[in-house]
Structure 1
């Protein structure tokens, strides 16, 4: 397949490129505050370089940490004494707001009576996504569609039938049953979109709501290769990629000799915000984090090596079996023999103290989550511009509905 010619933006004054360059420089200047992960490194270098800031963080209790996590602007104001460069953060991450008012967004949201098997947040996210894309002018292809919730949301507003591609046959079958039941002009097909040719229809508008990592990158590449008239997506899970160090898509970014070089942990930073997680899930996550930090301290002592050992994802049943079972599992994973007289209660206390330290120190790191995400998404926007698309980038819903609320919308040929 012959790719369309790339359009040079070096002299175009692309706003996306200007914003990306400013973000790249800012992130490089502040690298020492976002690259070390306090979960792995108990004493990031900045805690010694800026003892006043470290002392201020140490006095924050759990309620204060929660308040600053929810209000990055207040945290920036509090830390500017030590990090004056933070004053540029809001300007650097500014993008247009495409959120519709409640009444307009509701007009594009599936009624609850038709939203069978559709989680409430997904229903509202899909409605807000659809409202931001209106009007739809060509048939739609829902990429990585699951049960087709987004496809069914878009169908009443689409000038032609909606096709969905999904690799899980069970989800495809369920989605087609739902479409038939409610009379939606939606057909889901069982396709692995990561293969060379996943079977695109001709001339469609490719969409994806929270396609992960290489899945949304493949959507862009395929749309460009087929010169599709429109592609619109909200990206997620940037770290899920088979190519590390991370490879930017655009010629301008990949060809910049001084740009950031990003590894998996850097990419994970962009998706660490969890404002939508239920309280029960957050409590369970905190418990397991305490266990992992407790075991980290224990393994450093047992091995007499002061370094972090990453653990794989734990079996879910361990949450109900307690810390001792978790330690036995973790030790087996790393080939460590634990002493018989180890005091698990003392290490649990150590884990609790470390968890509070991590939460305090991560406040600084988390100020760079959105800048890192936008660094990545601006590269996507530049890539699509280079391919001849007119590109819009903005937010389609409140961050309380989903922190992954960025939407890229690219059109060509007047569509």
Structure 2
């Protein structure tokens, strides 16, 4: 481990490229925030429908099949929508990042299936792709928030001399050390609260984190650079987890820029809303419950004094096999909404179906801003790492179909 706050070489300059990319995204997102700030589930008639009535009408006429196709190919959708909002044609350029070297070798770098005990197949391949993209490794590596140490054991196969793991859950710590011993891997997992003020760092050169959530991955960036780690490799996830209030950027350059985008938890959630396709049964159940929730929302707005959206908590699984009426009665009881006795349930169910169709189309437009928002966050991380004296590589380490969270920051200190 290098000494903390190492002195940078004379003449070292921070690259302007990541900051310029961040600035371009910041301005673009600010100029189009009327499209992505309103949450379609909560706002039936966002302001952009009045600003761009032709776009709203065109979207309303799209079939479900078209929505499905465009949701998988947002680049093509952006060019289509640019006919109504020309500046959206910049989508491709704004979200373009390179593939990292090792991209094609992920499956070969993954743990053998027989060694991937308790590790889902998709996670096994994600760990392999991550490891391949930061290979070859040398020295001692730390697997941050390591769980059972699956990534740690994967990293051993890419040349790491030894891998340590930080994990909070004592059962996972025990399982991780048991698996390492069983397969003869030089991996040692220790119990550690990574958010603690004083971290007890092992003798390591390199900190790695695959899909550590929110403040957990931000803590590795800040604490790891403060501790003087020679290398940091981070694939972020769940940016909305941790912290309260408005999101605080990491880099000084971004913080002190003019007209900086302010983003709340809803905006951070949008950055990670993309998921891989669920099984047909789960999709059908999710669609049915969504119709019920929107039908209840329309009903409660009609009887409430405010006429506003009313958030309803997660419902018990037993309601999934019930009826729309049963769901509404449960939701009304939970939110203390007094429903009239003579409700036409078929009417409000139809209203839910109508709203669900509308929400799907409005969400399609909003989804154009998922990746730009995520890159806005990650580019700020890249600028921050450069400010700490690292040379940074940013790109994708696997296909989106394996995980939508496929961005990877790989940073090596200039004094390493």
* TM-score (structure 1 length as normaliser): 0.93
CA deviation after TM superposition for structure 1 residue 5, in Å: 7.3
When structure 1 is superposed on structure 2, of 236-245 and 398-407 the one drifting more is 236-245
Gaps of 5+ in 2: none
Q: Are the aligned partners of 2:15 and 2:386 in contact in 1 as well (CA < 8 Å)?
A: no
Match of 2:307 in 1: 306
Equivalences for 1:161-176 in 2 at 5 Å? 161-176=162-177
Q: Secondary structure at the match of 2:384?
A: helix
Match of 1:401 in 2: 402
Distance 1:99 1:388 in 2: 23
CA deviation after TM superposition for structure 1 residue 84, in Å: 0.5
Distance 2:306 2:6 in 1: 54
CA deviation after TM superposition for structure 1 residue 158, in Å: 3.5
Distance 1:44 1:189 in 2: 50
Match of 1:279 in 2: 280
Match of 1:377 in 2: 378
Q: Are the aligned partners of 1:139 and 1:158 in contact in 2 as well (CA < 8 Å)?
A: no
Q: Are the aligned partners of 1:99 and 1:398 in contact in 2 as well (CA < 8 Å)?
A: no
When structure 1 is superposed on structure 2, of 295-304 and 394-403 the one drifting more is 295-304
CA deviation after TM superposition for structure 1 residue 182, in Å: 1.5
When structure 1 is superposed on structure 2, of 172-181 and 57-66 the one drifting more is 172-181
Alpha-carbon distance change, 112 to 18 in structure 1, aligned in 2, over 3 angstroms: same
Q: Are the aligned partners of 1:110 and 1:127 in contact in 2 as well (CA < 8 Å)?
A: yes
* TM-score (structure 2 length as normaliser): 0.93
Alignment of 1:264 onto 2:270: no
CA deviation after TM superposition for structure 1 residue 317, in Å: 4.1
Q: Are the aligned partners of 1:148 and 1:175 in contact in 2 as well (CA < 8 Å)?
A: yes
Distance 1:127 1:37 in 2: 36
Match of 1:91 in 2: 93
Alpha-carbon distance change, 200 to 79 in structure 1, aligned in 2, over 3 angstroms: same
Distance 1:187 1:12 in 2: 36
Match of 1:116 in 2: 117
CA deviation after TM superposition for structure 1 residue 414, in Å: 5.4
Alpha-carbon distance change, 225 to 280 in structure 1, aligned in 2, over 3 angstroms: farther
When structure 1 is superposed on structure 2, of 152-161 and 121-130 the one drifting more is 152-161
Match of 1:186 in 2: 187
Runs of 4+ in 1 over 4 A off after TM superposition: 1-7
Alpha-carbon distance change, 48 to 335 in structure 1, aligned in 2, over 3 angstroms: same
Distance 2:57 2:47 in 1: 14
Alignment of 1:15 onto 2:6: no
Distance 1:6 1:412 in 2: 9
Q: Secondary structure at the match of 2:157?
A: helix
CA deviation after TM superposition for structure 1 residue 101, in Å: 5.8
- Pick the aligned partner of 1:25 from 27, 37, 48: 27
Alignment of 1:148 onto 2:159: no
Q: Are the aligned partners of 1:318 and 1:326 in contact in 2 as well (CA < 8 Å)?
A: yes
Distance 2:259 2:249 in 1: 13
Match of 2:342 in 1: 341
Distance 1:170 1:386 in 2: 38
Q: Are the aligned partners of 1:234 and 1:407 in contact in 2 as well (CA < 8 Å)?
A: yes
CA deviation after TM superposition for structure 1 residue 198, in Å: 3.6
CA deviation after TM superposition for structure 1 residue 276, in Å: 4.4
Distance 2:223 2:318 in 1: 40
Alignment of 1:201 onto 2:172: no
